[in-house]
């Protein structure tokens, strides 16, 4: 489906090469200040054509609010937002119409619907994520206003080049405590805060681009200042909702939170996050954060941090021996404009989906808190 969330609900629309993409956001509290200027920065960070390392497709991705606000204030009614596709070239895909592109969604969409978008990836294209990023901007503003929540994502790996993200290393935990979007963007398009490896990441992408190929990577995200108590027992655990959100992003291939896979080799006596009473914040805290800020599926007030791997882009310009929809052998050399690595551009998408999950969870918990208050 194209709708995400329960109380803070987002429905996205649009294909890669249609006239526009966008979304409708329902459940936004009334009276909150909101203009296009609040949302544009993240869309600008996501847009194509930012660097020679990304697709040359030239889209400004200017967002327009169509409804749900008046005089810069939210009305509590559905907010519709639109971004026009200005540099779409459906003719670039005419020769690929008879080939299902390897590892793309062409074949599966055709099997599911009996018809597919003839240009680009249709709804499987990253253009669809524009609506998510626009909606995520609203969610972020709400979270910032209510609890000063900070969400920062950054690149930690491109191909075989990686920065330290050892959850047990104090240096990595320091990065999680101090990283800002300004620091991430200061590293240019690569968006890796570790200057010692950022240059090698650029070279890695340039290497595969030169071979008309692509390469994958990993995005790590941290959430700070999130209230305790968010998330539901069993099926809607906060980490399960975050995993659902991250795996819905095009090209994502996994989800790892807290100590993740590394934690399986650490005994419980060393892995357990011991509690202490923090006099400054006047609440229980944990000395370590191997849980990644979530215990029993519910936020505990510590930093939430997780990583998401993104595969190498499926559409490449190399000739690939494959077959047509009717089963005849053939050679496909994709045309069009494509990223040699999507990982750096995924940063605002990861942040947006995180914000959507947390805004929804916060509204659900506030509803529970209010219900509890009127029954006592």
HEC profile of the chain: CCEECCCCEEEEECCCCCCEEEEEEECCCCCCECCHHHHHHHHHHHCCCCCCCCCCCCCCCCEEECCCEECCEECCCCEEEEEECCCCCHHHHHHHCCCCCCCCCHHHHHHHHCCCCCCCCHHHCHHHHHHHHHHHHHHHHHHHHHHCCEEEEEEEEECCEECCCCCCCHHHHHHHHHCCHHHHHCCHHHCCCCHHHHHHHHHHHHHHHHCCCCCCEEEEEEEECCCCCCCCCHHHCHHHHHHHHHHCCCCECCCEECCHHHHHHCCHHHHCCCEEEECCCCEEEECCCCCCCEECCEECCCCEEEEEEECCCCCCCCEEEEECCCCCEEEEECCCCCCCCCHHHHHHHHHHHHHHHHHHHHHHHHHHHHHHHCCC
Give the mean pLDDT of the chain.
92
Residue pLDDT, tens place only, 32-91: 999 999 999 999 999 876 666 655 555 688 999 999 999 999 999 999 999 998 765 555
pLDDT at 178 > cutoff 70 = yes
Q: What is the pLDDT of residue 123?
A: 85
What are the pLDDT digits (tens) for 198-234?
A: 999 999 999 999 999 999 999 999 999 999 999 999 9
- The confidence band for 92, taking pLDDT boundaries of 50, 70 and 90, is low
What's the confidence (pLDDT) of residue 48?
72
Q: What confidence tier does 337 reach under pLDDT thresholds 50, 70, 90?
A: low
Q: What is the pLDDT of residue 284?
A: 96
Catalytic positions: 17, 104, 339
Q: What's residue 279's pLDDT?
A: 95
């Amino acid at each position: 489906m194209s709708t995400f969330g329960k109380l803070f609900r987002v429905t996205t629309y649009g294909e890669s090469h249609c006239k526009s993409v966008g979304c409708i956001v329902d459940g936004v509290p009334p009276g909150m200040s909101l203009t296009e200027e609040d949302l544009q920065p993240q869309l600008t960070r996501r847009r194509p054509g930012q660097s020679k390392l990304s697709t040359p497709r030239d889209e400004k991705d200017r967002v327009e609010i169509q409804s749900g606000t008046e005089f810069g204030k939210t009305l509590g009614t559905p907010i519709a937002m639109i971004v026009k596709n200005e540099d779409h070239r459906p003719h670039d895909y005419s020769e690929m119409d008879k080939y299902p592109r390897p590892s793309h969604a062409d074949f599966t969409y055709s099997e599911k619907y009996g018809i597919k978008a003839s240009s680009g990836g249709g709804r499987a294209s990253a253009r669809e994520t524009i609506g998510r990023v626009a909606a995520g901007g609203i969610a972020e503003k709400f979270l910032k206003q209510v609890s000063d929540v900070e969400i920062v994502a950054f690149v930690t790996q491109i191909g075989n080049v990686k920065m330290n993200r050892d959850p047990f290393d104090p240096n990595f935990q320091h990065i999680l405590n101090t990283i800002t979007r300004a620091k991430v963007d200061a590293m240019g398009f690569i968006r890796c805060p570790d200057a010692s490896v950022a240059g090698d990441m650029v070279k890695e992408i340039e290497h595969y681009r030169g071979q008309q190929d692509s390469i994958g990577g990993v995005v790590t995200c941290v959430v700070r200042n999130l209230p305790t108590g968010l998330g539901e027992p069993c099926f809607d655990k906060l980490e399960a909702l975050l995993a659902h959100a991250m795996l819905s992003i095009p090209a994502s291939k996994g989800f790892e939170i807290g100590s993740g896979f590394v934690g399986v080799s650490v005994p419980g006596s060393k892995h357990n996050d011991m509690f202490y009473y923090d006099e400054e914040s006047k609440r229980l805290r944990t000395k370590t954060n191997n849980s990644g800020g979530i215990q029993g599926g519910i936020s505990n007030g510590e930093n939430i941090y997780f990583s998401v791997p993104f595969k190498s882009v499926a559409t490449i310009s190399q000739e690939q021996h494959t077959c047509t929809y009717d089963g005849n052998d053939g050679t496909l050399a994709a045309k069009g404009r494509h990223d040699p690595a999507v990982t750096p551009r995924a940063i605002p998408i990861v942040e947006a989906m995180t914000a959507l999950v947390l805004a929804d969870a916060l509204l659900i918990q506030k509803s529970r808190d209010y219900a509890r208050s009127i029954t006592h």
